[in-house]
Amino acid sequence: MRERMGLGKPTRAVLEEEILPFLAFSLREPLRRLPVEVKENLLEIRLRLGRTVMLVTADGDLTLPGSPCLDKAAMDQTLQFLTQSSLYAREEELRQGFITLPGGHRVGMVGRAVLEQGRIRTLKHISALNIRLARQVLGAADFVLPYLVENGVFLSTLIISPPGAGKTTLLRDLIRQVSTGVPALGLKGHKVGVVDERSELAASYLGVPQNDVGPRTDVLDGAGKAEGIMLLLRSMSPEVIATDEVGSPADVAALEEALVCGVRLIATAHGNGINDLSHRPFLRELIVRGLFTRVVCLGNSCGPGTVEEIRNGDGSKLLGPSRKLKGKEMADASQAHRSAALDVRYGEGRIYSCP
C-alpha cells in the first residue's frame, strides 16, 4: 500500500517545496530542523495566535521545537503568503473556511465571521490556521473491493465509520479503482462523477485534481452534495456518483434520483457501526429505500482503518465478527487484488498497513 503526496514526493520534500513557501520566515527554519521521522509522519501544522505551533503526526501531537508563541506579525505574514496579499481575492474560499494550495493541501481558518443576511460572507481577524497536508493512500480499497463487485459489476456502496477511522481514505481509493478498472475482478473502468464539497477527495487546485482519482473521473469541486449530484446527472452522464458525508433529506433525495437514472453510488456517513442504522433515522432511510447494495463499516478495534463488517443491503453479513476469514478465503481475497499490505486480525481487514 503506497501513500501518494505531492505527486509521489516524500513528505519531507512536500514540506520543503509546497508548504514552507507559504509560512512566515520565522517558522521555516524550525520546521526544516525537524527529524526526518517526524516529517514523514506529519499530518497537520496548527498555528494559533499567541500559542505555540503544534504538529499533528501519525504518532501523536507535539510542539514545534525552537519556535516561540505565534505572534501577530508571523500570522499576518503567513496570511499574506497564503492569499498572495489579498484576502478579498480569496473571499469565496474564506466563506467555506479554507484555502486550497498547489498540491491540494488545505488550510483551514477561523477568526471573526463577517455575516451578510445571516450567512458567513468572509472571515477577518484570523486567529488560527490548520495546514493539512494532502495525503492519498493508494491501495486502501484493495481488501474491500472484491466484496463490492459481483460478476464484474460494481455495487452501490455506503461506508459508515466514526471520525478518523478512514472512510474518506477508503472512498478516495474506491473512486480511483472504479474509474481505472480492475481486470483481476472483471471490473471495467467506469465514468465516475465526484461531488467534492470540501475539496478533500480530489484535493483540487484551480479546478485540477491533485490526487489520483482515475482516468474516467470528473470532479465538481466546492458544490453542495444535493445540487452537485443533480448537476453531474445533467451534464456528465456518470455511471457512478461518489460523495462524502451525506447528511440531509436533500442528499437522500438526490441520491435516489441518481439511482432512478441507473447510476450506482458510493457515499460515506458518520456512524458507529451497523447498529447506528436503528438509532439514526437518516442512515436507516438510506438502506430502507434500497439505495445501497453493500454497507462497509469501519472502526478502530484493531487500530484506525479496521474493516469491522461488510453487509448486504438487506442486512445479511458478508464479513464480520461472527464470520471469520480463514485459510483459502483469506488467500483468495489477497491474491485477487495482489495487496502486499493486507493485514487481517480476527477476521477483519485493515485499509491501512499495520505498524
Q: Pinpoint the residues of the chain covered by CATH 3.30.450.
A: 2-132
Helix axes 225-235, 249-260, angle to 10 degrees: 20
Predicted pLDDT of residue 87: 63
Q: Are strands 348-350 and 344-345 parallel, antiparallel or unpaired?
A: antiparallel
CATH class of 2-132: alpha beta
Predicted pLDDT of residue 7: 45
120-175: pLDDT as tens digits: 777 788 999 999 888 788 899 999 999 999 999 999 999 999 887 889 889 999 99
Weakly modelled stretches of the chain, pLDDT under 70: 1-9, 85-93, 278, 321-350, 352-355
Distance CA 170, CA 294 (A): 14
Query: How far is Cα of residue 112 from the mean position of the Cα atoms in its chain?
Result: 27
Predicted pLDDT of residue 325: 40
Predicted pLDDT of residue 2: 54
94 Cβ contact list (under 8 Å, min separation 6): 87, 109, 122, 123
Distance CA 159, CA 145 (A): 12
What's this model's pTM, rounded to 2 decimal places? 0.77
274 Cβ contact list (under 8 Å, min separation 6): 160, 295, 297, 309, 311, 315
Helix, strand, or coil here: 271?
coil
Cβ burial of 10 (10 Å; 0-12, 13-18, 19+) is: middle
What number does CATH give the domain 136-350? 3.40.50.300
Q: Pinpoint the residues of the chain covered by CATH 3.40.50.300.
A: 136-350
Predicted pLDDT of residue 283: 73
- Run of H or E including 12: helix 11-14
- Residue 306: name the closest of 134, 156, 143 by CA: 143
Grid coordinates in use for 142? 484493495
Predicted pLDDT of residue 88: 61
Predicted pLDDT of residue 329: 42
Predicted pLDDT of residue 331: 40
Helix, strand, or coil here: 120?
strand
Number of C-beta neighbours around residue 18 at 10 A: 21
